[in-house]
């Protein structure tokens, strides 16, 4: 291990093998290969707009996956994100269309509800020592059930601000364009990367994921951080809900079914270890891009049916989990 570190290390990481970057680099090269193959095989695929479109179509998934990254880094899991996204869209649509609230207030409330739900689940996980899996499962039922209580039918949104935000195209040089949602999601990514790498909270997240017992013994605020991490995930899901209601201009209780799986898949493909303690937000961005790229390739191809997407994602998950396993075995 030291020999590889010495030969490839830049001096700063003399004692740290570059091994920790392998999963992210693998995802990056996979992404490049997929894009190259797509460009060679299909006309119009090899343009920057195709990549930007992936961002536009997956902005909400990106935000949600960033939240899930925090949770998985601590070694937990959050199954409730898809339902909270749906709850966000339904609450937005209901308050805007039925109760005619101010849109800014609505967005604020949705974010608050998401964060509160997350914090509540985190508190149950921390104080009563119940597995994150089962607590967030209950949260998933709760949020989805609340959606149905508010409205069973799809409500379309015609609020002025929402429609403007949804239809605005921000031009970029070279005839390219993105949507405001993309900018919001990228801001979230930047903040998340900063928090994880350069703040006390972020380092505590990694410490808990590495070894919770040690983190407690080091005197780190483990309980507070764990609750906060689920609150962050809930907040991101709420924001994901707002972005999704912008994307579809509607609120529907069956929105985002199975999104928790996509988010977890994106995080894993992005190289974050599911046992916690290792991974990067940038990896998650690459993971979301990979999922989007698979969808684009399949839709450009035209002959492959949509269900191949799921099979490909499953196969990719398998490969990356295997890769993780090999790395963690080598480490010990």
Partner 1 sequence: MTRHRLFWPGLILILLLFSNLFFTPDFFSIQVRDGHLYGSLIDILRLGAPLILVGLGMTLVIATRGIDLSVGSVVAISGALACLWISRLPDMNQLSGVLVAIVLGVLLAVALGLWNGFLVAALGIQPIVATLILMVAGRGLAQLITSGQIITIRSSRYALIGAGYWLAVPFSILVALGVFALAGLVVRRSALGLLLEAVGGNPEASRLAGIHSRRLVWLVYGFSGLTAGIAGLMISSNVSSADGNNAGLWIELDAILAVVIGGTSLAGGRFSFTGTVVGALLIQTLTTTIFTIGIPPETTLLFKALVVTLVCLLQSPAFRAKVLYRRRRPGPAEPSPSQPTSQLEVAG
Query: Contact positions toward partner 1, by CB under 8 A?
Result: 77, 124, 127-131, 133-135, 137-142, 144-146, 148-149, 152, 253, 261, 264-265, 268, 274-275, 305-311, 313-315, 317-318, 321-322, 325, 329
Nearest to 82 by CA among 249, 308, 229, 252: 252
Cα separation of 332 and 39, whole Å? 41
Rounded to a whole number of angstroms, the minimum distance from the CB of residue 329 to partner 1 is 8
Q: What angle do CA 92, 183, 30 make, to 5 degrees?
A: 110
Rounded to a whole number of angstroms, the minimum distance from the CB of residue 138 to partner 1 is 4
| Residue nearer to partner 1 on the CB measure, 86 or 165 | 86
| Residue nearer to partner 1 on the CB measure, 282 or 308 | 308
| Residue nearer to partner 1 on the CB measure, 37 or 315 | 315
Would you tell me how many other CB atoms lie within 10 Å of the CB of residue 57? 16
- In sequence order, the β-bridge partners of residue 155 are 251
CB 230 within 8 A of CB 78: yes
| Residue nearer to partner 1 on the CB measure, 133 or 194 | 133
Rounded to a whole number of angstroms, the minimum distance from the CB of residue 283 to partner 1 is 16
Rounded to a whole number of angstroms, the minimum distance from the CB of residue 242 to partner 1 is 22
Q: Which residue has the tokens 């309980």?
A: 223
| Cα atoms in the 13 Å half-sphere on the side-chain side of 287 | 34
Query: Residue 214: exposed, middle, or buried by beta-carbon count in 10 A (0-12, 13-18, 19+)?
Result: exposed
Q: How does strand 250-251 pair with strand 176-178? A: unpaired
| Residue nearer to partner 1 on the CB measure, 97 or 309 | 309
Rounded to a whole number of angstroms, the minimum distance from the CB of residue 231 to partner 1 is 18
Contacts of 22 (CB under 8 A, 6+ apart): 271, 323, 327
| Residue nearer to partner 1 on the CB measure, 79 or 178 | 79
Integer CA distances (angstroms), 134 to 65, 131, 138, in order:
20, 6, 6
| Residue nearer to partner 1 on the CB measure, 64 or 166 | 64
Rounded to a whole number of angstroms, the minimum distance from the CB of residue 211 to partner 1 is 16
Contacts of 304 (CB under 8 A, 6+ apart): 298
Rounded to a whole number of angstroms, the minimum distance from the CB of residue 282 to partner 1 is 21
Query: Residue 206: exposed, middle, or buried by beta-carbon count in 10 A (0-12, 13-18, 19+)?
Result: middle
Rounded to a whole number of angstroms, the minimum distance from the CB of residue 110 to partner 1 is 19
| Residue nearer to partner 1 on the CB measure, 79 or 232 | 79
């Amino acid at each position: 291990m030291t020999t590889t570190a010495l030969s490839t290390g830049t001096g700063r990481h003399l004692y740290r093998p570059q091994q920790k970057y392998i999963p992210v680099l693998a995802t990056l090269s996979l992404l490049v290969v997929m894009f190259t193959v797509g460009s060679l095989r299909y006309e119009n695929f090899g343009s920057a707009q195709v990549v930007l479109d992936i961002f536009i179509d997956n902005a909400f998934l990106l935000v949600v996956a960033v939240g899930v990254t925090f949770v998985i880094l601590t070694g937990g899991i959050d199954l409730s994100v898809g339902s909270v996204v749906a709850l966000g869209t339904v609450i937005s649509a209901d308050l805007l269309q039925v109760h005619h609230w101010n849109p800014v207030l609505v967005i604020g409330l949705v974010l608050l509800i998401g964060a509160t739900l997350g914090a509540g689940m985190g508190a149950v996980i921390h104080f009563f020592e119940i597995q994150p899996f089962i607590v967030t499962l209950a949260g998933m039922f709760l949020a989805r059930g609340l959606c149905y209580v508010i409205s069973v039918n799809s409500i379309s949104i015609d609020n002025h601000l929402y429609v403007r935000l949804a239809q605005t195209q921000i031009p970029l040089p070279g005839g390219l364009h993105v949507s405001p949602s993309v900018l919001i999601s990228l801001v979230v990514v930047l903040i998340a990367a900063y928090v994880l790498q350069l703040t006390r909270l972020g380092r505590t997240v990694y410490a808990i994921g590495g070894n919770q017992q040690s983190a407690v013994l080091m005197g780190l605020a483990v309980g507070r951080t764990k609750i906060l991490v689920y609150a962050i995930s809930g907040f991101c899901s709420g924001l994901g809900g707002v972005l999704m209601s912008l994307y579809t201009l509607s609120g529907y209780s069956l929105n985002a079914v199975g999104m928790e799986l996509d988010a977890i898949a994106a995080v894993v493909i992005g190289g974050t270890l599911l046992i916690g303690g290792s991974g990067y937000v940038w990896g998650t961005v690459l993971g979301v891009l990979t999922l989007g790229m698979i969808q684009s390739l399949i839709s450009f191809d035209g002959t492959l049916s949509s269900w191949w997407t799921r099979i490909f994602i499953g196969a990719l998950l398998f490969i990356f989990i295997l890769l993780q396993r090999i790395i963690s075995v080598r480490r010990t």
